[in-house]
Chain A
Amino acid sequence: MKHCLVVDDSRVIRKVARKILEELSFDISEAEDGRIALDACRQKMPDAILLDWNMPNMSGIEFLRALRKEAGGEHPIVVFCTTENDMDRISEALSAGANEYIMKPFDRDIIEAKFTEAGLV
């Protein structure tokens, strides 16, 4: 089973994402900001990360830049999932090493389509 880390400061979003991803046969763990997510990755690199942008302590983009410098940090497939929907932001995420990008609001179809796009499903 593939392991996906869901990083979002909203408990509700984490819950919704968990449900959808569990249906897609992922093993889920959660983190409520970038710093907690980075600690989790240092313990065990997930296969995939669903990543919010705006979070306290450490934002999604800061987390991603830090992750890609970690040992093994190039492996996880990172899918941003954020209300940020400007072209500049999307480009910024891609150049920081994001593999796919979801603009909120999302639903099951979008998550499935994007995870398929990223080669995870």
Chain B
Amino acid sequence: MSAIPSDDFAFLSNLLKRRSGLVLTPDKLYLVESRLMPIARKEGLADIAALISKLRQPGSETLQRAVTDAMTTNESLFFRDKTPFEHFEKVIVPSLLPSRPQKRLRVWCAAASTGQEPYSLVLTMAEKAAQFPGLSLDILGTDICAEVIARAQAGIYSQFEVQRGLPIQMLVKYFTKEGDNWRLKENIRQQVKYKLFNLLESLSALGQFDVVFCRNVLIYFDRDTKADIITRIAKILPEDGYLILGAAETVVGLTVPFQPHPTAKGLYVKAAAAALTPPAKVAAG
């Protein structure tokens, strides 16, 4: 394998951990080569070692950001795992609407990548519009990586991307063909707002949400980072709010104020307020 001196590897993994939460284990060394060599070349540098030594110099903020972005895994697909979108329409929306007189739900896709996840929510509800008259979804998609946010905003997908998870009827109904690519129609695109946002930062600027999708991003972080992010998400969700994690993720085993939904897999609800507060001391007399 490539020879990255161990102190260089340590420097790089610290940088990534601090900037994005990513835990870079030695078995991911091959990713370092393939993801960072293009950046090194663009900088006119011979190899990864030269890139890292440039990263160590003061004033390398832009380069650090480029390296952090390049190390993110942005894989996504329409209706990934299917059930979260079924749960959204069958469990989440019906349970929240009665207590939302404005019929307005705020949803946050916390690692939206190229937009398939938030757009799948829009498409799910577009298909069910008749069932939920007056419902308005206010969806925010965020990601740490500027390039994927730009792609999400454009709503343009390759032939390959529209063939994984997206039923053909939806392609015909909601997309137009642009050259070799497929673009979501304006009325769908405009239902999602996008913003560059790092999950390690304070969430308070984002406001309150009813539902948070935080899927397939925590897997890259260590336990403490996961628990910290989930705990902070709890603070921007009301008592009846929902958290949705990826198929390979769970709150089980983490000390966080959520518990699995009793029936809907992948859905998490706030742990009963009672379970959180320490048992009250019985005041004598």
Contacts and interface: CB of A to CB of B under 8 A. Distances in A.
A109 B163 CA distance: 9
Nearest to B163: A110
Nearest to B175: A87
Contact of B168 (A86, A100, A106): A100
Contacts of A86: 177
B168 A94 contact: yes
A109 B169 CA distance: 19
Contacts of B163: 102-103, 106, 110, 113-114
Interface in B53-76: none
Interface string A86-114: 11001100100010111100100110011
A85 interface: yes
B172 A90 contact: yes
Decide if the interface of chain B is mainly helix, strand, loop or mixed: mixed
Query: Could you say which interface size class chain B belongs to?
Result: 10 to 19
Nearest to B159: A103
B81 to A, nearest CB: 12
A23 interface: no
Contacts, number: 34
B163 to A, nearest CB: 5
Contacts of A85: 159, 177
A86 B177 CA distance: 8
Contact of A90 (B160, B164, B171, B176): B171
Nearest to A117: B167
Contacts of B171: 90, 101
A50 B215 CA distance: 34
A94 to B, nearest CB: 7
Interface string B158-193: 011001110111011000110000000000000000
A109 B168 contact: no
Contact of A110 (B164, B167, B172): B164
Contact of A109 (B164, B172, B176, B177): B164
Interface in A12-42: none
Contacts of A90: 168, 171-172
Contacts of A100: 167-168
Nearest to B162: A103
B177 A94 contact: no
Nearest to A100: B168
A86 B176 CA distance: 10
A91 B159 contact: no
Given A86-B177, A109-B164, A113-B164, A94 B169 contact: yes
Contact of A91 (B164, B167, B172, B176): B172
B159 to A, nearest CB: 5
Nearest to B77: A113
Contact of B165 (A94, A101, A103, A113): A113
Contacts of B164: 109-110, 113
Nearest to A113: B164
Interface string A50-73: 000000000000000000000000
Given A94-B169, A100-B167, 7 more contacts: A90-B171, A90-B172, A110-B160, A110-B164, A114-B163, A117-B165, A117-B167
6 contacts: A85-B159, A90-B168, A98-B168, A110-B164, A114-B163, A114-B168
